[in-house]
Each structure stands twice: as C-alpha cells, then as structure tokens.
Amino acid sequence: MTKAQPAGGSVQHPGAGPGNPGAGASLDDLQAKAAAVHEALPWIKRLSGRTVVVKYGGAAMGTAGFDAFVDDVVLLRYVGVDVIVVHGGGPEVSQLMTRFGKEPVFVDGHRVTDAETMDLARMVLVGRVNKTLVGRINTHGRLAVGLSGEDGLLLVARPRVDPGGRDLGYVGDVEAVDPTALRALTDKGLVPVVATVAAGPAGQPYNVNADAAAGSLAAALGAEKLVYLTDVEGLYADLADPGSLLEQLTVAEVEALLDEGRVAAGMVPKLTGIVTALRGGVRRAHILDGRREHALLLELFTDSGVGTMVQAEEER
C-alpha cells in the first residue's frame, strides 16, 4: 500500500484526524498547527514525569473555560504529567446554605462554619462538585479518582483562631499533609481530584481553604508547579486598574505584598498558598484566568506565558 503524496500549495486536505478537524484546511494551516504542537515539545519534556498541582476555583466553575480545563487536565495526564486537581466550590456551598435557610457569613474571607454548615459544605464539595469534575474527566476514560482531605488523612486541620476572638466554628488551617494516597493514584497513572474538607483534631470534618490546601499539597508532593485557575487574568497591583497585571514576581515580592496588606479577598489565600509552596521547594506558581479556554495549556506548553507567574528568588 502506498502513502498518499502530499500535494503543494493550498490543496485541500480531505482526511485529517479523529472527527476530521483538518477537513477543508489548507496545508499552510496544517503546518501552523503542527508548529503549535511542536512548540510544546520542550515544555512537555520538562514536565513529563513531574507533578503539577492545579487548583480550579469555584469562581471559574460553570464558565466557558471549564470544559477546556477538563480536556487540558486529560492532555497533561496523557503526556506523562502527574497532575493533581484541587477544587473549590464556595459559591455552590453558599447556594445550598441559602436553600436550607442559612445565611453565609464570612470573617476575613473564612466562612463561619457551624456543624450544620460543615455538613452542607461537605455534601456539596465532596458529593457534588468533586463528583462532577471526576465524571467530566472520566468521559475520556478511567482516569480520575475523587477524594477529600479526610481520605487517607491527606489533610489534617487544626482549628483556626480568629485574631478578633470571633467564633469561626469548624474552620481550620492545614496542620499536616500526608500525600500517600495521592502518590498511590499518580503512580498508577490516575488523576486525583481533591475536595478540601480536612480531618479535624478528633477526626471530625473541618473546613480548610482550598487555596491554602493546594499550596500545602504542592509542597508536600515536591511539585514542579502550582497553578491557580480563577476568574481574573492574574494578580493586579490595583484590582481597579486592568493595566496593572503583574506578570512576573518573586516569592519575596509576594511576601512583601502580603505584609503591606495590598491584596484583598480571594487573592490572599492564593498568595499565602504560593508562599507555602515556593518556600517548600516548588519551583514556580501561576495565577491564571480559568474562564479562558485552555489557559492551562497556554501557560504550560507555549513559549509565551499568560497570567501571573511567581518564581523563587534565585532564578531571576
């Protein structure tokens, strides 16, 4: 059997790939696509066999970027990256609370969590958001396994003490991480999907911030990268000024921003998570726009990064 000879110029290519995506494309178009795939080669070589922790925020869930995010995670797995997905789900927890007649209350960004709220949060995060992600990833085959911080004592929390003396209930800070369960999964080529409910001091569920948990997990795993996907392009020097996106920072600069109190709300736990991770040996961290389709691929596998990148000092 002879292989069809490539024809020159703008001859139409009739029979490209699965689902025929190249049909009707000129050879020049196809060449450009091949070049884009080729650009990924050095980045794939660098990341294959390494660990990448990706936190997908509740704020980006349900946006146009979600399906592309799922596909990107699957692609990462197929090129040999040990990818671990950590997810939030704050907006869905608030919705369920409202349905049960409970008003969400926050103190410095932490949800005040009484026993009933903890129960609802666990139902939503572990039972719903986690399983939705697992189900979506597994449309590509047997890949994802969902677990929460309570499983295998992945995340152990100590009660958070509010500096203002207010009772936060079952809100904790990550005290210890045991990545054994995650490694057991990644060693088998599976993708762990983590809901960040932690085990409390007496084994009861505790509510820990997903951003902080992702930072602690990345450090404990010796991850190559930690990536936050959220609903802004990255970290802004001034949230009100779209021209003030900070593209590149060192971990010391991030610590200074936190000390100066110049960052607000949802960015604070991301930046503290980044400090935990980078001070714990992770090489790089990124904050990307999870609403944008394929933000993860754009950052990891192209020469031009997107969003905000934080790196350890000595690299500059």
By the criterion CB under 6 A, which residues form the site for ligand ADP?
A: 57-60, 88, 211, 230-232, 235-236, 239, 263-267
b/e burial code for range 11-50 (CB count within 10 A of at least 16 → b): eebeeeeeeeebeebebeeeeeeeeeeeebeebbeebeee
Q: Provide the minimum distance between the beta carbon of 136 and ligand ADP in the complex, in angstroms, as a whole number.
A: 18
Closer to Mg ion by CB, 56 or 301: give it.
Answer: 56
Taken in order 63, 265, 229, 131, the sign of the CA dihedral is negative
Residue whose tokens read 């997810």: 87
Q: Which is nearer to Mg ion, 179 or 266 (CB)?
A: 266
**Residue 130 or 186 having the CB closest to ligand ADP:** 130
In contact, 169 and 117? CB cutoff 8 Å: yes
Using rule CB under 5 A, residue 215 touches Mg ion: no
Cα distance between the two ends of the chain:
55
Of 126 and 143, the one with the shorter C-beta distance to ligand ADP is: 126
- Say what angle helices 267-279 and 251-260 make with each other, to 10 degrees: 140
Nearer to ligand ADP (CB atom), residue 202 or residue 264: 264
Q: Which of ligand ADP, Mg ion, none is residue 231 near (CB under 5 to 8 Å by kind)?
A: ligand ADP
Q: Which does 251 bind (CB under 5 to 8 A by kind): ligand ADP, Mg ion, none?
A: none
Q: Which is nearer to ligand ADP, 185 or 235 (CB)?
A: 235
230 binds, among ligand ADP, Mg ion, none (CB under 5 to 8 A by kind): ligand ADP
| Residue with the shortest CB distance to Mg ion | 266
Residue 235's nearest CA partner among 246, 226, 249, 243 is 246
Q: Shortest distance, CB of residue 152 to Mg ion, whole angstroms?
A: 25
**Please, what is the minimum distance in Å from the beta carbon of residue 266 to Mg ion?**
4
Task: Please return the burial class of 302, using the count of CB atoms within 10 Å of its CB with bins 0-12, 13-18 and 19+.
Answer: middle
**Minimal distance in Å, beta carbon 199 to ligand ADP?**
22
C-alpha 100/C-alpha 169 separation (Å) is 18
Site string for Mg ion, 236-275 (x = CB under 5 A): ------------------------------x---------
| Shortest distance (Å) from residue 301 CB to ligand ADP | 22
**Cβ of residue 238: shortest distance to Mg ion, in angstroms?**
20
Output the CA torsion sign for 75, 77, 81, 87.
positive
Distances, alpha carbon 260 to alpha carbons 7, 36, 234, 257, 268, in Å: 62, 41, 19, 5, 12
Specify the amino acid at residue 275. Answer: V
Judged by the rule CB under 5 A, the positions of this chain that interact with Mg ion are 266
